Each structure stands twice: as structure tokens, then as C-alpha cells.
Structure 1
Amino acid sequence: MPKKPHNFEASMEELDSIVEQMESDQLPLEELISHYERGAKLLKECESALSVAKKRLETIKKGDTKGADASNQRSANSTPSSSDDDEIRLF
């Protein structure tokens, strides 16, 4: 069985590779089951990493909102800033 990846991207790459191998219809049943088990573990790891990332982003957003409150009170009549958005934007 392959080594456990150290990060989200490596886990996703390995999961992609496993899916491709399984879809090729060239693996014996035992290998398919083994690949499925590994894929399920990788999926859990990825979901966990995404959950942690989401919580971190929510914490950052809450922190930014608190810091932005004082500056928003001073400039109440100015145009809204990007920190006023309810959505988290990564790009």
C-alpha cells in the first residue's frame, strides 16, 4: 500500500490515480477492493482537511469583521468595503 500523503494536494492526486486505475477495468477483484479501501481513507482525509480549512476561514472572517467594525463606524457613509461581504472569497 502507498505511503500516507502529507497534504491535501498529495491525497487528491493519489485519489485521482486510484480512481483512474479502478475505472480501467484491468484490476483483479482483490486489488479493486484494496484500492477502494485506500480511496475511502483518502476521501476521509480530504474531507477532514477541507473541514479544518473551512473552520480556519470562518475564524479569520470573524476576526476581520471585529477589526473592521471600528473603521466602519468612522466611515459609515463611505462605500462598502470587501470585508462587508458575507461570502469568503479565495480568489
Structure 2
Amino acid sequence: MPRRKSTEEENSGEPTFEQALGSLEAIVDAMEHEHLPLEELVEHYEKGSALLTRCEAILQSARGRIELITLRNQSEISLDAGLKSAEHQGLLTPTDPPEDPDDDNDIRLF
């Protein structure tokens, strides 16, 4: 299923990764298989270079987002492991709420 463009992407006027890559592939194909005058080859090269820069920027951004997600997941796993270790050692029980030292009432609803 295709991803919906964000408002930022729609307003930027910049091509998506897929659009930029498709255009870049078309430029490379034209440069390799067509007999173009030098001026057109230079124009294609210039446009292709800009598209390549756009693709690399999008990939770098995606890579950074993936690294953040991975770090966040590792932190959550680490925290979960720490809680399970504390439960296993009898320091915490998952069903008992933390005790309030100022609470003299023995009535508990949960």
C-alpha cells in the first residue's frame, strides 16, 4: 500500500524518494542509450546530480529515524528486563501497587 504524503512533503515541492529515483533512472537510461548533444548531456548530469543528492538526503533521514526507533526499543527492552529482574528477586510484584508510607488505610480497590 502506498504511503500517504505528509503535509510537509506536499508543501515542499520536492519529489518523494520514489519520484526522484524514477527520474534519476530515466536520466541515466537516456544518457546511456540516446545520442544527445553535449549541452543536453550536461543538463541531464546536473539534474541527475540534484536528484541523487535528494535521494541521499531522504535515505539519511530514514536511517536516522530507524536508529532512533531501534534505540528506543532497546531502552524499553532494557527497562522491561530490569523490572522483570526486580520482580524475580522479590523486590517488586507486578500486581501490587507501590506502597505509600503515609497511607494508613488498609482498604484497597485493586
- Which TM-score band applies after superposition, normalised by the shorter structure? 0.7 to 0.9
Q: Does 1:33 align with 2:42?
A: yes
**Which blocks of at least 5 consecutive residues in structure 1 are unaligned?**
77-91
Equivalent residue runs for 1:39-54 within 5 Å? 39-54=48-63
Could you give the per-residue CA deviations for residues 37-84 of structure 1, whole angstroms, max 9, x where no partner exists?
0000000000111100000000000110111112233567xxxxxxxx
Structure 2: distance between partners of 1:5 and 1:67 = 35
Q: Which residue of 2 aligns with 1:64?
A: 73
Higher-Rg structure is 2
Taking CA–CA contacts closer than 8 Å with sequence separation of 6 or more, which of the two structures ends up with the larger relative contact order? 1
| TM-score, normalised with respect to structure 1 | 0.72
Q: Which has the higher helix share?
A: 1
Whichever residue aligns with residue 46 of structure 2, its letter is E
Q: Which amino acid aligns with 2:28?
A: V
**Which of the numbers 3, 17, 31 marks the counterpart of 1:8?**
17
Question: Over aligned residue pairs, what C-alpha RMSD do you find?
Answer: 1.7
Q: State the TM-score, normalized to the length of structure 2.
A: 0.60
Q: Distance in 1 between matches of 2:41 and 2:80?
A: 58
Percent identical among aligned pairs is: 36
The aligned amino acid for 1:67 is: E
